[in-house]
Chain A
Amino acid sequence: MNTNMKKFDLHNDPKIETGFKVPEHYFEDFEARIMQQLPEQEVKVISLWQRRSVWVSSVAAVALLAFGLTFYFNYTSKGSLDETTVENYLASNMTSYDLIQELDQNDIQELENSLVLNDDAVESYLSENDNDIDLYLNE
């Protein structure tokens, strides 16, 4: 075919076919086979299940919402704030510097009175933080 040095020219030469053969009756059989595989019952099963699962999820969602709302209203309608909540709020939203700014003389007096300090406690604190002792001593 290529003996007289003729160059292949895909566009002008007769088309080269693939050379693939298909077994006889393949396509007739294929149609039947694929229709069998497809899922008549799968379609039904899926749709029923989907319908049921939509119901289940809806009920679950409503129940969850009802529970959440009850909880939310009970919680927020309490009105009064307990001390721990306030303390936590202040601790997380204010720096100690902010707090100090808000203290007056009486508060400081009260804080000092509430401190139970004894010499042992002071000493052990200082010995644990020994780097700082020098600073205090130098002063």
Chain B
Amino acid sequence: MQDEKEFIADLLDPKTQNEAFRKLVREYQRPLYNHIRTIVLNHDDTDDVLQNTFVKVFQNLKNFKGDSKLFSWMYRIATNESITFINQRAKKSGISSEEIKDKMINNLQADVDYDGDEIQLKLQKAMAILPEKQQLVFKMKYFQELKYEDISEILGTSVGGLKASYFHAVKKIEEFLNAD
């Protein structure tokens, strides 16, 4: 991608805005989709959250300070939107966000857009028992293969803290997978 500052200027200039935004969507829709999907699990929900994310990005571009990378900023919005989505869904159903996450995992097997095998499903279940932060770090590192420096910008946590979280997450997941 071209120089980020220039690109942001294009995004803010009404003359170039639409074309620049189209480019942004093309560039980031896949990674953001994958990131959101690992949190909300279901395709239709991911689609909703992804749309909200891009709309939020568009609306807030003028406030983007440039003190983090555009990429980390968008990931941060996507993460917040995903978590908000789950909490709202839980609130609507009158249950805790832990319960709704369990429900979402259980729905996976019947999901037409999920063809995970036994181990893949077990990994989903293993991740679900982790504290939220560890889940996020694990998913971003293991599935998305993001660098600790980027995750640190996205989640606002120190690299050291993230490494510890990831280490604990891996240990707990391996224990879960090896349990029987």
A interface residues, Cβ below 8 angstroms from B: 1-2, 7-11, 15-23, 26-27, 30-31, 33-35, 37-40, 43, 47
B155 → A minimal CB distance (Å): 20
A38 to B33, CA, bound (A): 18
A33 to B50, CA, bound (A): 11
Are B17 and A43 neighbours in the complex by a CB distance under 8 Å?
A: yes
Are A19 and B114 neighbours in the complex by a CB distance under 8 Å?
A: yes
Residues of B with C-beta under 8 A to A33: 51
Residues of A with C-beta under 8 A to B142: 10, 15
Q: Known: A21-B113, A43-B17. Is A16-B55 also a contact (CB below 8 A)?
A: no
A39 to B43, CA, bound (A): 25
Chain A proximity mask over B51-82: 1 for CB below 8 Å, otherwise 0: 10011001000000000000000000000000
Residues of B with C-beta under 8 A to A8: 174, 177-178
A1 → B minimal CB distance (Å): 6
B interface residues, Cβ below 8 angstroms from A: 14, 17-18, 21-22, 25-26, 29-30, 33-34, 37-38, 41, 43, 47, 50-51, 54-55, 58, 113-121, 123-124, 142-143, 170, 173-174, 177-178
Ranked nearest first, the 7 interchain pairs of A and B with the lowest CB-CB distance are A19-B116, A19-B120, A8-B177, A21-B113, A34-B54, A16-B123, A8-B174
A17 to B117, CA, bound (A): 10
Are A39 and B58 neighbours in the complex by a CB distance under 8 Å?
A: yes
Are A35 and B21 neighbours in the complex by a CB distance under 8 Å?
A: yes
Known: A30-B29, A34-B54, A38-B55. 17 other contacts (CB 8 A): A1-B119, A2-B177, A8-B174, A11-B170, A16-B119, A17-B120, A18-B116, A18-B143, A20-B38, A31-B26, A31-B29, A34-B55, A35-B21, A38-B54, A39-B58, A43-B14, A47-B14
